[in-house]
Amino acid sequence: MVQAKPSHVAPVTDSPSRLSPEAIEEMFRRFQEAKPAPESELDYRNPFTLLVAVVLSAQATDAGVNRATEKLFDLADTPEKMVALGEERVRDMIKTIGLYRNKAKNVIALSQKLIEDFDGEVPRDRAALESLPGVGRKTANVVMNVAFGAPTMAVDTHIFRVCNRTGLAPGKTPLDVEHGLEAVVPDKYARHAHHWLILHGRYVCKARKPLCGECVIRDLCLYPDKTA
């Protein structure tokens, strides 16, 4: 006997998602219902401090970055103040963060470039952001989304895992997943989509032991090894 496909499996073979549009709509509706206005867990005061915090967060926890930047941002919340503070002082203040030496160098260099090329303002477009030292595509996407409200998809390890496990936007690379999300996430959810997915991956759909019993999208998810 041939079993019917679950209703949430996408019937369109060329879709970047294995879920149906109806299932994707329901997934994000539930995420929105649970947390209507998700926010970054990085502490920041303006677009510049957000940019610095995201650069520092590579291979580090948000909580660890927040502890290090509290005093740093008291002293330097603009590119001009950061350059005046100097690389050695920045390095000393962020030494609890992994790769702190290289990150301190990048923070000073990007601050100098902001002053020289952008009148001290954080640019709003991806190409300009990626021209800054230490800023890659994911960092640019976070800044564009959080600081300026762009519906970008900043794919980190959590989002990559969630999208592959659930079938929402499977892909072999973060860029594959990013493009998949851009194609299937309904416009009305795009502004907060990457935050919902990050939080879901960080606290529920964990790497080693996902908390499937607490998952609000358990019935939509295609992961075959669900936990109790």
Residue 39 within a domain: no
Q: What number is the average pLDDT over the span 5-25?
A: 75
List the catalytic residue out of 35, 62, 119, 156. Answer: 156
Q: What is the CATH number of the domain that holds 68?
A: 1.10.340.30
Domain boundary among 107, 127, 148: 148
pLDDT in tens, 174-226: 999 999 999 999 999 999 999 999 999 999 999 999 999 999 999 999 999 99
Long-range contacts from 135-139, C-beta under 8 angstroms, 24+ separation = 135/51, 135/55, 135/110, 137/175, 137/178, 138/174, 139/51, 139/54, 139/55, 139/58
Residue 12 within a domain: yes
| Helix ranges, the chain (H) | 21-34, 47-56, 62-75, 79-85, 87-93, 100-118, 126-130, 137-148, 157-166, 174-184, 193-203
- 82 and 24 share one domain: no
pLDDT band at 4 (very low <50, low <70, confident <90, very high): very low
pLDDT on residue 2: 35
List the catalytic residue out of 35, 95, 138, 176. Answer: 138
Read off the pTM.
0.90
Distance (Å) of CA 158 to CA 3, 83, 132, 201, 210: 32, 33, 25, 5, 12
Range of the domain at 23: 1-34+151-228
- 207 and 120 share one domain: no
pLDDT on residue 15: 77
DSSP bridge partners of 9: 19
Was 163 annotated as part of a binding site? no
Domain boundary among 114, 148, 182: 148
pLDDT in tens, 52-111: 999 999 889 999 999 999 999 999 999 999 999 999 999 999 999 999 999 999 999 999
Q: Count of alpha carbons within 13 Å of 66, Cβ hemisphere only?
A: 9
- 225 and 161 share one domain: yes
Q: Is-catalytic flag, 138?
A: yes
Domain boundary among 148, 174, 195: 148
Q: What is the CATH number of the domain that holds 29?
A: 1.10.1670.10
Was 205 annotated as part of a binding site? yes
- 189 and 120 share one domain: no
Handedness of CA 152, 154, 160, 162 (dihedral sign): negative
- 182 and 114 share one domain: no
Residue 40 within a domain: no
Measured in residues, the chain has a length of 228
Residue 8 within a domain: yes
Residue 51 within a domain: yes
- 53 and 144 share one domain: yes
Reduced to 3 states (helix: H, G, I; strand: E, B; else coil), residue 19 is strand
- 138 and 155 share one domain: no
Based on the structure, what is the number of domains in the chain? 2
Residue 42 within a domain: no
Q: Count of alpha carbons within 13 Å of 93, Cβ hemisphere only?
A: 22
